[in-house]
Structure 1
Amino acid sequence: MMKGNLVTFFTQQSRTFEGISLAKWIVEEARKLGVGGATLMTGQEGFGHDGRFHSDSYFDLEDQPLQVSMALTFKEYENLMVRLEESHICVFYTKSEIEFGFTSEH
């Protein structure tokens, strides 16, 4: 069992960084930093802090809500946040302290 943080980033398909979606960039940076896994999920609809509606409808696919979640050690969390700050990325996230591990040997 390990202790760390469950971190979830919320963005939209239309947000890009370095030519790819911001959500995919976050997943790739986490991988480069050695994080054990990350999950990129699409949302059906939602609204952001600006009150704008986002959905996965045929007419609004580029603004589809995206969410990236990962269980991180405290050090992995710190490293990822430093990387986001160095890249001048502003993205909404949530963080909860958690215990995590495997139920048996894998």
Structure 2
Amino acid sequence: MQGHYLKFIMQEKEHHQGLPLYEWLLREARKLGLPGGSAFRAIAGFGHSGVLHDAAFIELAGEEPVEVVFALSDADKTRLLDYLRHTKLQLFYVSIPAEFDRLGGE
């Protein structure tokens, strides 16, 4: 199947509607009926501010980058991004054309 690898990057400490933002994003994607998604905590990173966020620095606890990733059809990608645009959240994302499928079980 042809589609998109869609990745959102945020800080672990970011919240929306009382939940960590990465958890909220996964829940909303599930409500939209998307086929799946995963969240990954990075060990270090920096963004547009240039500030390095590193799990080794105790004073920066909770500021590590988190990636939320999806492999989506064009229609699912459009549906998710349209939904998120209506929330007015400021989210950084990367969309890369991808080929994906399942192996086995045939």
Same structural fold, with TM-score higher than 0.5 when normalized by the shorter chain:
yes
Report the counterpart of residue 38 of structure 1 in structure 2.
37
Aligned residues: 105
- Secondary structure (helix, strand or coil) at the match of 2:75 reads helix
Distance apart, 1:73 and its partner CA: 0.8
| 1:2-53 deviation digits (Å, cap 9, x = unpaired) | 1110001000012111111111111111111111111100001111111122
Instruction: Using structure 2 for the length normalisation, give the TM-score.
Output: 0.91
Residues in 1 aligned to 2:16 and 2:104: alpha-carbon distance in whole angstroms = 38
Report the counterpart of residue 62 of structure 2 in structure 1.
62
CA RMSD, Structure 1 to Structure 2 (Å): 1.3
| 1:59-78 deviation digits (Å, cap 9, x = unpaired) | 32221110011101111101
Report the counterpart of residue 28 of structure 2 in structure 1.
29
Q: After TM superposition, which residue ranges in structure 1, 4 or more long, deviate above 3 angstroms?
A: none
Residues in 2 aligned to 1:4 and 1:47: alpha-carbon distance in whole angstroms = 28
Question: Is 2:94 aligned against 1:94?
Answer: yes
Aligned-pair identity (%): 29
Instruction: Using structure 1 for the length normalisation, give the TM-score.
Output: 0.91
Unaligned runs of 5+ in 1: none
Question: Is 2:14 aligned against 1:15?
Answer: yes
